Amino acid sequence: MAVLHRALFTWFNLLIFLILLVLRLDLRIQWNWFIVFIPMWLYDNILLIYIIFRMISHCKNGHDHISSLRRKAWYMTAVLTKLSGQGLLCLKLEATQLTLPAKVVLAPLWVLLLTLGCDVFIHLIQHSRY
Amino acid sequence: MIFSLNELVHWLGLTIFEIWINLVSLTIFTILLAMKIDNNYFAGNGGWWIIFSPLFIGDGLNTYFCAIIFIRMQMDGVMKSAILRALWSLTFLLLVFVFKYLLCKKLSGQSSLEYSEVLSPVFILLQLIAVRACQLH
């Protein structure tokens, strides 16, 4: 996929999600939070398929760059962390009788943010370009 | 993931340093948010402002960084791209700041705006980002 297609796909998903979020927060609709998050589920699942497809084509073409494969595995872990964070958030908002602590809900997000922060910082140091 | 860091830099018009600052401030913000929800810290009227303070500090640092880049580009003699870059950074930072400010006011109960109005700067920003996406190649 060209970068333009990927950007427009991301943009469209985000727009639909934000519209649904605003409608739900303003109580114009009483939908389940899992339904409100459908654009995000769709986006993450397509992202997972995209990464798996790229990993398979990487292995099939016989590239022996293990670092590139490791990078794709890290991307997949990041998407899975995001998915679990969203699932916990929906559970917290929907099942109020469960009384999930906010620390548990936000833990996957912290892991994701901290690793992303470290990754960006290493990139910043290695390439010395701001 | 779906984008490399360089593609994100081109699309959003942010530098890698700004992305890093935003990530760090967001992490501190979520930690404070968890403390507020679980342990009822930061109760009272000013509570939400304290929780949002890492985000506002991050915005301030980004503005300072953009001002330095603008001055350095101007000194290097690339006036047109310096002004265009500064304009985009200013619009981005302003819209994000207005969104956070309105959200903070709404959560502290100081305004009666609806969430659709609170998120309006984000929708404007999304339109601008869509225009930038069309310029990608």
pLDDT tens for each residue of B67-117: 999 999 999 988 899 999 999 999 999 999 999 999 999 999 888 899 999
ipTM of the complex, rounded to two decimals:
0.90
What's the mean per-residue pLDDT of chain A?
90
Q: Which structural domain range is residue B46 located in? A: 5-134
Chain A CB within 8 Å of residue B2 CB: yes
Closest CB from B17, B126, B134 relative to A15: B126
Domain, as residue range, for A82: 3-127
Contacts of A72 in chain B (CB under 8 A): none
B126 near B137, Cβ under 8 Å? no
- Total number of domains in chain A: 1
Burial class (CB in 10 A: 0-12, 13-18, 19+), B55: buried
Mean pLDDT of B19-42: 91
Nearest CA to A114 among A72, A93, A85? A85
> pLDDT value at position A119?
92
The closest of B123, B125, B104, B114 to B32, measured between CA atoms, is B104
The residue assigned the tokens 């530098």 is B15
Q: How many domains does chain B have?
A: 1
- Chain A residues near any Cβ of chain B (below 8 Å): 3-4, 6-8, 10-11, 14-15, 18, 21-22, 25-26, 47, 50-51, 75, 78-79, 101-103, 106, 109-110, 113-114, 116-117, 120-121, 123-124, 127, 129-130
Interface test with B, best of A28, A44, A130 (most B CBs within 10 A): A130
What are B118-136's pLDDT values in tens digits?
Answer: 999 999 999 999 999 988 8
Q: How far apart are the first and last CA of chain B?
A: 18
Please tell me the distance in Å from B13's CA to the nearest CA on chain A: 12
Question: Which residues 13-72 of B have a C-beta within 8 angstroms of A?
Answer: 15-17, 19-20, 23-24, 26-27, 30-31, 33-34, 37-38
| Residues A48-104: tens digit of each pLDDT | 999 998 888 888 887 667 778 888 889 999 999 999 999 999 999 998 888 889 999
